[in-house]
């Protein structure tokens, strides 16, 4: 069969669209706005009729009871917020298909004039029914704890970087000579607070240096815990990551944690885009 160039281009775009949106059809589509204590449920039939739109307590029992009449052929979608773990596990245990919506890409919800829980749940269901829900990658339950620990370490490392930058910036603010040695190392912090003549500045710097000293032991224990508990899903990919220059053991685990399964990115371009290394190109009427 011969395809014209424009047909090949159309087929390629259709494949890319199917990867970017959840297009599987179900008899019943359920959108949830799930919070820590409450949730809003929006349930649609295949024809688009609203079968259920209710505000209730965020717990498995009320949810299962509410959707019981539409249990066969039901699919559930929720935004990728911090509360989705429990709902994903509930879907796996009850055999209910679960779709994790990409929160930043769901412009139909966040881009509207009004946004609240009551409006959000039916909109999620309609995006799901229309094949326009951009899915996020649902992380396996057995790997979530390690991922959260790695992300928490990243947060703490940024706080540590803020302390180091504060000491250096204060030194520049008072036009003092460069410290010279890296104060990230404990042996180079002696006398750091005594460099300043102003009354309150030495105390500020001393506090920052004390926090850095406390962080030394904290980060060492945290890194040891990560290295002993983290088990990469793909041993071959982990072995290949060791060949990359400039990456230590922790950074390799952080990268593997973010990628999870390289098969999520069929092309190199997809992986680069996922890592935010490619700028978004906007075109209209042939103009970029």
pLDDT for 101-142, tens place per residue?
998 888 777 677 777 777 889 999 999 999 999 998 888 888
- Helix axes of 249-259 and 144-173: crossing angle, nearest 10 degrees: 120
Q: Which of 44, 64, 46 is nearest to 121 (CA)?
A: 44
d(CA 100, CA 139): 10
Q: pTM (2 decimals)?
A: 0.74
All domains of the chain, ordered by start, with CATH? 25-138 (3.30.420.40), 142-274 (no CATH)
User: Which residue, 243, 160, 174, 258, is CA-closest to 209?
Assistant: 160
232-264 pLDDT, tens digit each:
777 777 788 888 888 888 888 888 888 888 888
Residue 167: C-alpha distances to residues 75, 159, 179, 183, 187 (Å): 53, 13, 10, 9, 16
């Amino acid at each position: 069969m011969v395809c014209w160039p424009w047909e090949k281009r159309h087929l390629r775009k259709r494949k890319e669209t199917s990867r970017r949106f959840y297009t599987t059809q179900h008899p019943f589509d359920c959108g949830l706005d799930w919070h820590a204590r409450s949730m809003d449920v929006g349930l649609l039939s295949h024809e688009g009729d609203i079968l259920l739109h209710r505000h209730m307590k965020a717990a498995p029992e009320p949810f299962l009871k509410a959707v019981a009449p539409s249990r066969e052929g039901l699919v559930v979608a929720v935004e990728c917020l911090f509360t989705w773990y429990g709902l994903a596990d509930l879907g796996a245990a009850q055999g209910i298909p679960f779709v994790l919506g990409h929160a930043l890409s769901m412009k139909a919800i966040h881009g509207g004039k009004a946004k609240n829980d009551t409006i959000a749940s039916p909109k999620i269901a309609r995006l799901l029914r229309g094949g326009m829900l951009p899915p996020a990658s649902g992380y396996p339950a057995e790997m979530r704890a390690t991922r959260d620990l790695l992300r928490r370490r990243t947060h703490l490392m940024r706080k540590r970087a803020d302390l180091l930058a504060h000491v250096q910036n204060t030194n520049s603010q008072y036009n003092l000579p460069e410290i010279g040695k890296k104060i990230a190392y404990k042996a180079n912090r002696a006398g750091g607070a005594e460099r300043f003549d102003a009354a309150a500045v030495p105390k500020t710097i001393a506090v920052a240096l004390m926090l850095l000293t406390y962080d030394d032991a904290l980060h060492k224990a945290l890194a040891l815990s990560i290295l002993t508990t983290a088990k990469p899903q793909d041993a071959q990919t982990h072995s290949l990551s060791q060949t990359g220059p400039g990456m230590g053991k922790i950074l390799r685990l952080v990268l593997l944690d973010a990628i999870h399964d390289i098969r999520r990115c069929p092309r190199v371009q997809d992986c680069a885009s996922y890592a935010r290394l490619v700028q978004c190109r906007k075109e209209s009427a042939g103009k970029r």
